[in-house]
Amino acid sequence: MKRLIISKLAVGLIAVGAALAVTPAWAEIKIGIVDPARLVQESPQGKAIQESLRAEFAPRERTLQAQGQAVKAKQDKVQKDSATMTEDQRSRAEKDLRDSARDFERARGELQDDFTARRNEELSRLQRTLGEEVRTYAKAQGYDLILSAEAAISFAPAIDVTPAILTALQARAGVPASAAPKPAAPAKPQAH
């Protein structure tokens, strides 16, 4: 009886060993990590979007700052002159101040909403471009899996492909190689 159990165990172990030997595809998987936030911030395409948004909204920001300074000046005037004003003058000045402050807050909210909508539009477009660049890089370099750095709890710096993708994005944008970040050492395949 004991012999029969040992013999069945041996046959089972041989079968498991044979099954493991037949599946070499699982032996080594090439994995990379990419930092999407860094790509958005450091890529020429991301920087161009930031500059474009800054230029687009700068005139409205300057107008809003001037409007805010005007509200502050009215507030200071009402506080300073309220003792010498008649009740009717004070009431009109306070109403004018409230109306100006309300207009300022509305304009500030509209500016923020417009900026957020445009930024989201541009970032959505940029994320599609960056995603395509990551896929192209992964395919060209033979990666089986590229994960977002945000999804990884821990990883070795050697598998961070962000610098190499930034270099590719800079080349696509015509940035000289001397301005490009140095790519990390080639990643070694990770066995899992």
Question: Mean pLDDT by 10-residue block, N- to C-terminus, for the chain (192 residues)?
Answer: 39 37 61 94 94 96 96 92 89 93 96 97 95 94 92 90 93 69 44 41
Q: Which tens digit of pLDDT belongs to each residue from 21-39?
A: 444 555 588 999 999 999 9
Parse the chain into domains and list their residue ranges. 23-179
H-helix or E-strand spanning residue 77: helix 44-81
Query: How far is residue 44's CA from residue 77's CA, in Å, rounded to a whole number?
Result: 48
Query: How far is residue 80's CA from residue 78's CA, in Å, rounded to a whole number?
Result: 6
Q: Which tens digit of pLDDT belongs to each residue from 148-180?
A: 999 888 888 999 999 999 999 998 888 765 554
CATH topology of domain 23-179: Protein Binding, DinI Protein; Chain A (3.30.910)
